[in-house]
Amino acid sequence: MKTKSILIIVFMLIVSRPVFSQTAFKVEVKGKGNPVLLFPGFGCTGEVWNETVAELSKNYECHVFTFAGFGNVPPIEGPWLSTIKDQVIAYVKTKKLKKAILIGHSLGGTLSLWLASQETNLFKKAIIVDALPANAALMIPNYKGDIIPYDNPQSKMMLAMDANAFNAMNTQSVSYMCFNKEKQKTIAEWMKTADRKTYVYGYIDMLNLDLRKEIAKIKIPVVILAATNPDINTVQNTYKSQYENLPSAKIYYAQKAAHFVMYDQPEWFMEKVKSEIK
């Protein structure tokens, strides 16, 4: 009888375990209404969307993501970015989020394109904030989709950097990505807390993702809110080239804005998001 009771208890523990266990991100849910998923850019936390969520949560259920290795979310084993993508899909299906809207900045925007091209009927719309289908093509001349190995001289150098050098590097790069001085400090602090291995190898994951052909599969409306820094003509040519397989994409260009469009042109940004999300 005792053995039978133990078996029953063990069985109940097994069946009561959650079907879905996420490790690749943490999610904070605010507001009620139709679901909106908000993905931050590389190295940032979900707090990058605080002002956006303050408005949208009045009418929508906002699911705000922070990815593993950033903020207070523990790092995971690689492959980092594909695990995030797979677990987002599982999250949406498990939570039964019907026709969710995707809003993603930078890496989060690229992730949104990946999700929309793979799960063509799962989402309703994607709002992409200064993000491209192939980030490597922006940085590597004559990029042909070559895979960048994790083990390379640049990665080794960054992994070996002391904290002061690493933080100084990020502070300098942030000054180019955001014109808002106060927000520069916030972004730099997020970078400081990042898990170094995630920062280095996760960035390679992002560079190795080339969706320029894949975006042709996207069926939902895609809206892009693009920064114009440093030069609008160069930016327009870049977006035209990278999104040529998604001619239905609607692109708005934010004047006097660097990469963090939501911080450099907050009123313009919020007006566009509200009008497009309806």
Q: How far apart are CA 189 and CA 43, in angstroms?
A: 10
Q: In this structure, which amino acid lies at residue 176?
A: Y
CATH of the domain at 120: 3.40.50.1820
Is residue 197 one of the residues assigned to a domain? yes
Is residue 11 one of the residues assigned to a domain? no
> What does pLDDT average to over the chain?
93
Is residue 145 one of the residues assigned to a domain? yes
> What are the CA-CA distances from residue 101 to residues 58, 80, 195 (Å)?
15, 23, 29
Which comes out higher in pLDDT, residue 143 or 81? 81
Confidence label for 20 from pLDDT (cuts 50, 70 and 90)? low
Inform me whether the pLDDT recorded for 7 exceeds 90. Answer: no
Mean pLDDT of 8-33: 68
Residue 228, both tokens: 């114009």
- Domains held by the chain: number: 1
Is residue 13 one of the residues assigned to a domain? no
pLDDT at residue 17, as a whole number: 39
Percent of the chain topping pLDDT 70 = 93
Which comes out higher in pLDDT, residue 184 or 11? 184
Is residue 5 one of the residues assigned to a domain? no
Inform me whether the pLDDT recorded for 2 exceeds 70. Answer: no
Is residue 156 one of the residues assigned to a domain? yes
Sign of CA dihedral 89, 91, 92, 96: positive
Inform me whether the pLDDT recorded for 277 exceeds 90. Answer: yes
Confidence label for 142 from pLDDT (cuts 50, 70 and 90)? confident
Inform me whether the pLDDT recorded for 136 exceeds 70. Answer: yes
Q: How far apart are CA 229 and CA 166, in angstroms?
A: 25
Containing structural domain, residue 226: 18-277
Inform me whether the pLDDT recorded for 9 exceeds 50. Answer: no
Tell me the pTM.
0.92
Is residue 115 one of the residues assigned to a domain? yes
Q: Say which range, 2-11, 128-137, 185-194, has the weakest mean pLDDT.
A: 2-11
pLDDT at residue 191, as a whole number: 96
> Is 69 in contact with 194 (CB distance < 8 Å)?
yes
Is residue 171 one of the residues assigned to a domain? yes
> Is 45 in contact with 5 (CB distance < 8 Å)?
no
Confidence label for 21 from pLDDT (cuts 50, 70 and 90)? confident
Inform me whether the pLDDT recorded for 16 exceeds 60. Answer: no
Mean pLDDT of 149-164: 95
